[in-house]
Amino acid sequence: MPSHLRLPALLLALLGAAPAASASPYAVKERHWVPRGWRATGPASKSKSINLQIGLRQRREGSVERHLLEISDPDHARYGQHLTAAEVRELVAPADDTVDLVREWLSEHEISNAGFSPSKDWVSIVVPIEKAEQLLQTSYSTYRHHDGSEIDRAIEWSLPAHLHEHVDVVQPTTSFFKPKKEAVKYFELGPKHPMSWWESTGKQLYGGQEVSGTHAEQVAAVCNVSFTTPTCLRTLYGTLNYTAQANGTNKMGLNNYLNETNYRADVYKFLQLYRPEAAEAAYDFDIVTIADAPNDQGPYTAAELEDETNVEANLDAQQMLSIGYPTPLTAFSTGGSPPFVADINTPTDTNEPYLTWLNYALAQDDLPQVISSSYGDDEQTVPESYAARACSQFAQLGARGITFLVSSGDAGVGADDSCYTNDNSSTYEFLPSFPTGCPWVTSVGATANFNPETAVSRFASGAGFSNYFGQRRTKPRSPGGPTRTSRPRATKTPLVWDARSRPWAHLGVVADLRRRLALVNDALIAAGKSPLGFLNPWLYKTGHRGLTDITSGSSYGCNTAGFPAQAGWDAVTGFGTPNFGALVRLACGGAYDE
């Protein structure tokens, strides 16, 4: 064949072998309505950096969930046989061609700083918003919330058509998730007391005296709704006489967001007053900072004192150590929340703390067996694709034997006069919260009072339902959260903040259950058994017998009475509040001497 004919043939062959990426047209992958409370103020700055998280389609999609249902079912032969971190990563890894196609797409846009998660199912890139708009064929605007905070978001984004089956989610794009501390607006800081007040006055007024007798008599002797001490809570839920045995392997964890951290000096002073033998733990527990989260150990600045910085974080650490001691504690502090001032070296705030924390946590080989979070927002503020991927990551935690607890919310079925959908139809309906509606977490609500306990009335517990996730055949989700913790109505819990002791009218419901489950895990591990892991199937089949049923109160909201508490499971108090001794007996399958 003449040489002048061979060259065109070779060029045609090369062109035919070229990947379809360069010629693949873009198509919209996702649209999402702007939630109520947000309004666009103008185009986002093109030069501002943004950290995009790209979720790749998993090769064995759904495999983790199938494993989780088996190892969490007490009737299954695999019950308690949790997976290792490496095994979970293998299950969620994308196909090689998925990774190659995404790398190629990024390379075509001259993006070379991509970082992959250990399983390669998430890709992280930092690019100017102008580049993100080109990559996703979208436009970012700056949106302002009615509270004054701002984020940069898009109402839709696109991908080359050939990538639609390989990429599940890209954020931050259409997600307006604005995490808030559940029930934070309901606290009231009481009068400040010097550290000497408890010994000189407080103990006589509120300390009570341990007595023998029935459980109700013991609770009545040490509990006071005006100042509920750790001794009261340990008595109420049956952990007072329990001695932890598996401190070398059993751990508990808490999550801090919104730039809060745990101030060790305050934690130490609290424990000195209310659990003296645990005081040194204030300087021993781990604080892990993620995404440039602060860990300022004081003293407080004038601005921090005015904002009451770290009040929530202090309460969580103080309450957990005062009851869970000597179980080791890890506090995860995740950065990235408004107010945020971007500069040339710092990417813009993603305001997606769950995604940031989940990607960090799942990259670790060793995690606490019980972790919780009290942060959430309306489910409709996040696209379903984002919720699904985040929820699947919670399932990965469960498969590894980790219990994840989430506050059910503080607005019941929805805040009055605000229960409208985001789709411009103005449909009035109950508003679920995220991530408490995820099937693979345990939703935790609040109760009140002593003997008898009731559903909390200071605010309304959420119900744990979801418009995104349906009920599974084996009921892995606990709708409304079958496990609820208890604080008395108008209870003022002691808190040390800024070296002063004060009563704090707030309900740290998730922390209550977390530390009790940590002690149940302690008993299991000491007996040579696996930790509880994902709770919900066990609660439905066995564990509910170790909870005290709550039959009074309701989860009001949306200008309705919401769901009433009633005998048996209900959507406001679930199966009730924990009885530690009964839970240990049920979990260990044997006797427990209280």
| Phi, psi of 55, rounded to the nearest 5 degrees | -90, 120
Q: Which of 20, 53, 62, 50 is nearest to 163 (CA)?
A: 20
Q: Which two tokens stand for residue 410?
A: 């503080």
| Phi, psi of 131, rounded to the nearest 5 degrees | -70, -40
Pinpoint the alpha helices (H) of 406-508: none
Residues 506 and 485: their CA atoms lie apart, in Å, by: 13
| Helical (H) or strand (E) element with 321 | helix 311-324
Q: Beta strand 150-153 with 156-160: parallel, antiparallel or unpaired?
A: unpaired
Angle at 459 between CA 458 and CA 462, to 5 degrees: 145
Q: Which two tokens stand for residue 255?
A: 């999550």
Is 152 annotated as ligand-binding?
Answer: no
Which residues, in sequence order, are bridge partners of residue 454?
A: 448
Which letter does DSSP use for residue 201 in this model? I
Q: Which of 125, 108, 203 is nearest to 170 (CA)?
A: 125
What burial class does residue 223 get, using C-beta atoms within 10 Å of its C-beta: 0-12 exposed, 13-18 middle, 19+ buried?
buried
Is 371 annotated as ligand-binding?
Answer: no
For 15, residues 6+ apart whose C-beta sits below 8 A from its C-beta are: none
- Say which residue the tokens 């090369």 belong to: 14
Residues 21 and 192: their CA atoms lie apart, in Å, by: 65
Q: Are 573 and 553 in contact (CB under 8 A)?
A: yes
Residues 260 and 214: their CA atoms lie apart, in Å, by: 41
Residues in the chain, overall count: 594
For 6, residues 6+ apart whose C-beta sits below 8 A from its C-beta are: none
Q: Which of 150, 107, 388 is nearest to 140 (CA)?
A: 150
Q: Which two tokens stand for residue 476?
A: 């892995």
Residues 276 and 316: their CA atoms lie apart, in Å, by: 17
Angle at 368 between CA 362 and CA 370, to 5 degrees: 105
Residues 539 and 547: their CA atoms lie apart, in Å, by: 9
Is 550 annotated as ligand-binding?
Answer: yes
Is 402 annotated as ligand-binding?
Answer: no
Binding region for Ca(2+): 549-550, 568, 570
Binding region: 549-550, 568, 570
